[in-house]
Amino acid sequence: MKKLITTLVVGTLLLSSSFAQLSQMSFGVRGSLGVSDMTIADETKKGLGNELNAIMIDAGFPYSSSDVDNKPIVGGGFAFWGNYSFEKIPALGLQAELGFLFNNGTELTAETKSGTAKIEIKDKATYTTMELPFLVTYTVNKGGFFEFIPQAGFYLSFPIGKIKQDLDMTFKNNGNTLASKSESSKDKIDNACIFGTAFGADFAFNFNKTSALLLNARYMIDLGELKSDGDIGTRKVFLMSAGYRYTFR
């Protein structure tokens, strides 16, 4: 028991000593706008193409070709963060954040042609996440009117709720729409958490010693696939943000 108490005391002192070297704290909030996309597996795209070809065959058009692709969609969010810089290396900092991103996902498009007949599909998948980034920052021209702050690190992404799918399907022949269908569904996300890496930079404009306007550019890459009744894809997000920073000097 004495050894345990001694270990806890020593550990607490060492931790306190480490944080005592953090000379400056800053906090901020920002809003973001960006684009989200997903790397969809070739097997998934091929499977959708085969399904559309089967529909064409059932409709009496036996020879068909499919083109399946996906494209980014617009999203955004907001975040709160705190940054701690070191006394001996003031330019170096550690930053932790709590943020939320909306409209993560992608839009899957598919087109199958057979002579004059064509099937068009748009399947938009979106979901919301809570983000917990942990970043290392380095401030160039610290304390000046303009600061350039490269940052890099990792994050934990927690999907919130379900993934929403909005499907639009159209069947045309000779340029005329013969049938169309639209439907929406919500599916359970199997991932509790996805690990990822992020890098980017802040551009700070100091109004005075404590207040600053921040502009931020960041790229985020999930290192695991989103799963919902099987693998869906790997998310990539590019964000442009604007916010406010308050510094305790």
CATH number for 74:
2.40.160.20
What band does 249 get if pLDDT is binned at 50, 70 and 90?
Answer: low
- pLDDT digits over 213-228, tens only? 999 999 999 999 998 8
Q: Which residue has the higher pLDDT, 35 or 108?
A: 35
* pLDDT confidence of residue 127: 95
What band does 190 get if pLDDT is binned at 50, 70 and 90?
Answer: very high
* pLDDT confidence of residue 54: 76
Number of domains in the chain: 1
Domain contains 29 = yes
At which residue do the structure tokens 């639009």 appear? Answer: 168
What band does 37 get if pLDDT is binned at 50, 70 and 90?
Answer: very high
What band does 19 get if pLDDT is binned at 50, 70 and 90?
Answer: very low
Domain contains 219 = yes
Domain contains 53 = no
Which residues form the domain of 196? 22-41+68-108+124-163+186-248
Q: Which residues make Cβ contacts (< 8 Å) with residue 7, sequence separation at least 6? A: none
Q: Are 110 and 49 in contact (CB under 8 A)?
A: yes
pTM beyond cutoff 0.85 = no
Q: Are 169 and 180 in contact (CB under 8 A)?
A: yes
Domain contains 7 = no
Instruction: Locate all alpha helices (DSSP H) within 31-95, ordered by sequence.
Output: 42-58
Average pLDDT over residues 112-122: 82
Query: Rounded to 5 degrees, what are φ and ψ at 17?
Result: -65, -40
Domain contains 9 = no
Structure tokens at 129: 């996440």
Domain contains 90 = yes
Domain contains 173 = no
Domain contains 148 = yes
pLDDT at residue 11 is higher than 80: no
> Of 130, 128, 126, which is closest to residue 73 (Cα–Cα)?
126
Determine the Cα–Cα distance for residues 138 and 135; give it in Å rounded to an integer: 10
Between the two ends of the chain, the Cα-to-Cα distance in Å is 42
